[in-house]
Chain A
Amino acid sequence: MNAVEQSVASGLVRVAAATRWQRLALCGVFTGLSLVSIGGRAEGDAATTASADAQRWLQRIHQATRKLSFSGVMVYQRADHSETSRIARLVSSSMTEERLESLDGMPREVIRRGDEVISYLPGSQTVKRDRSQPVGTFPTVLPASLSELEENYEVRAGKQERVAGFECQVIELSPRDQLRYGYRLWADMASGMLIKSRVFNERHESVEQFYFSELQIGPVSREKLRSRFQHRAKGWRVQESAVSESRLDEEGWQVPGQLNGFRKRTELKRRLGGTAAVRHVVMSDGLTAISLFIEPDMPVSQTPLGAARQGVVSLFSRQLSGYRVTAMGEAPLESLRLIANSVEYRRPSP
């Protein structure tokens, strides 16, 4: 019996295992019940193998999206909207540079050099300067949190499909509870590059997707990374993001380190919507990030109270001790409500 179990567990050829089962069954060693039990175990082991395979794919995607240079056209779609952007990315030993330009409507542009991100937004005549946060830029966050991801999602390698001319492996990330959305990823079989990703809500409806309609993997010319707006933006309003680390507990805020699979990643302080020091806590379940904003509750409030939804992003906002606490993220409302309601305030002793 042990030999059989071991042979199945070690992934030996199924036929051999089946032959042994039959032989052993004939000998009357197994009852029908134990056969079912062993069969179930074999299925479980197969699932484990499939999961390990899917995890290897996630690691490949992680490597590819960090190390590959590419240029192409990316389509972003959500239920009520779609927008096409040109994207180019050049990875060198010293720095990663990227450029993203919207192709629909008014041209808008985002330039990234290293960790500096500059957005040129002609509609509002604004230049936004940010330092990119290393917190959760998928899939860079993945390797450290693969096991954590497994706690919250069932990871499974699916079938193979062709997207934008690329033969792709499909990877399914199905939530293990109702507190997060599901994901389906398409990765290029040859390079591991992520070609397409789709988000599913709690009713298994597709709510958002990104995909490349064109993609060239390999060296990218400097011209494709050059800003079209830098010289036009003279006189535009410049917004600096002004982000700094923060310690909320020292100010009396109690945010659980872990809740429903979401772990606290970082605590920041930033200027938002005219408020100088909005506290911004980032929580993640290994895949999805939820932002928790804490800001003074102005008479003319900036965020609506209660629950709201815009596309794939939901938010839940409540008042607490003269402050407004808002949870926001690509997650079901219930998840956001639980996180927003978990925040407590105890006035720090002087």
Chain B
Amino acid sequence: MQERISAMMDDQASAQEVDALLQQLAQDEALGQHWETYQLIGDALRGQPQGDIRARVSACLVAEPAHSVAVEQSRRNRPKRWAMSLAASLAAIAMVGGLALHLGVLLPSESASQIAVLEQSPAAPSTPQSMSIAGTASVPKASSEEPPQTSAMQEHRLAHEQVSSAPMMSSIAGYARLVVSEGAAR
């Protein structure tokens, strides 16, 4: 099944296979989580915005029992555990999911770059003017007390894109931004 999800992500699955997979993803929670994780890896590989990655990792951690321990740690230590969780998750799932071949070279540097930003964010709370959305949203506060920020911001982004008057090819082209955001958010 994981290979089939992998094939779908690589656009190698047929329309029927995609149909069947989507049905199963909707019904099977464990598979749904695999799907989320694949998306996470894919986004990391594509160099997606940090914010989305972090917000989603935050969401994953809320559901993770081990995270309740992390929440007890001091603010100074938390991002490190957080980053370690991210790196471990990415590596473990890459192995399990049969994506290791794809990820092989890229994954270490990609995950390292994510971690670097994660660790920097809480160190600069005195300059809120320049914080990224994700930095403000997820890192300085206990993740268990915060809902995933990205989905909430996505709603605002969507509402804004609908009225945005940036010079686009046509009215629907603005949705390309939304489509990008949705791709990043999942």
Binding site for B on A (CB under 8 A): 65, 74, 76, 78, 80-81, 83, 85, 87, 89, 98-100, 102, 104-108, 110, 112, 117, 119, 121-125, 128, 130, 132-133, 135-141, 173, 183, 185, 194, 197, 199, 208, 210, 212, 228, 232, 235-236, 241, 265-266, 270, 272-274, 278, 280, 282, 284, 287-289, 291, 293, 300, 302-311, 313, 315, 326, 328-330, 333
- Asked if B175 contacts A307 (CB within 8 A), the reply is no
- Asked if B174 contacts A137 (CB within 8 A), the reply is yes
- Asked if A308 contacts B136 (CB within 8 A), the reply is yes
Measured in the bound complex, the distance between the Cα atoms of B162 and A232 in whole Å is 25
B131 at the interface (CB under 8 A from A): yes
- Asked if B168 contacts A291 (CB within 8 A), the reply is no
- Asked if B179 contacts A108 (CB within 8 A), the reply is yes
Of B152, B159, B183, the residue contacting A105 (CB under 8 A) is: B183
- Asked if A273 contacts B155 (CB within 8 A), the reply is yes
Give a binary string over B133-162; 1 marks a CB under 8 Å from any A CB, 0 the rest: 100110000000111010111011111101
- Asked if A304 contacts B26 (CB within 8 A), the reply is no
Measured in the bound complex, the distance between the Cα atoms of B185 and A311 in whole Å is 14
Residues on B with C-beta less than 8 A from A288 are 164-166
Residues on B with C-beta less than 8 A from A212 are 169
- Asked if B155 contacts A272 (CB within 8 A), the reply is yes
> Which residue on chain B has the smallest CB distance to residue A308?
B133
- Asked if B163 contacts A291 (CB within 8 A), the reply is yes
Nearest-CB distance from A213 to chain B (Å)? 12
Measured in the bound complex, the distance between the Cα atoms of B67 and A51 in whole Å is 60
Of B48, B147, B163, the residue contacting A289 (CB under 8 A) is: B163
In the complex with contacts A232-B22, A309-B133, A210-B180 CB distance below 8 A: no
In the complex with contacts A117-B175, A305-B136, A139-B167 CB distance below 8 A: yes
- Asked if B183 contacts A123 (CB within 8 A), the reply is yes
- Asked if B175 contacts A302 (CB within 8 A), the reply is no
Measured in the bound complex, the distance between the Cα atoms of B107 and A120 in whole Å is 30
- Asked if B167 contacts A307 (CB within 8 A), the reply is no
Residues on B with C-beta less than 8 A from A302 are 147, 149, 152-153, 156
- Asked if A306 contacts B152 (CB within 8 A), the reply is no
Residues on B with C-beta less than 8 A from A83 are 176, 179-180, 183
Q: List 5 A-B contacts (CB under 8 A).
A: A74-B169, A106-B183, A123-B39, A210-B168, A300-B146
Measured in the bound complex, the distance between the Cα atoms of B155 and A240 in whole Å is 12
Residues on A with C-beta less than 8 A from B168 are 137-138, 194, 197, 210
- Asked if B48 contacts A80 (CB within 8 A), the reply is yes
Measured in the bound complex, the distance between the Cα atoms of B11 and A125 in whole Å is 18
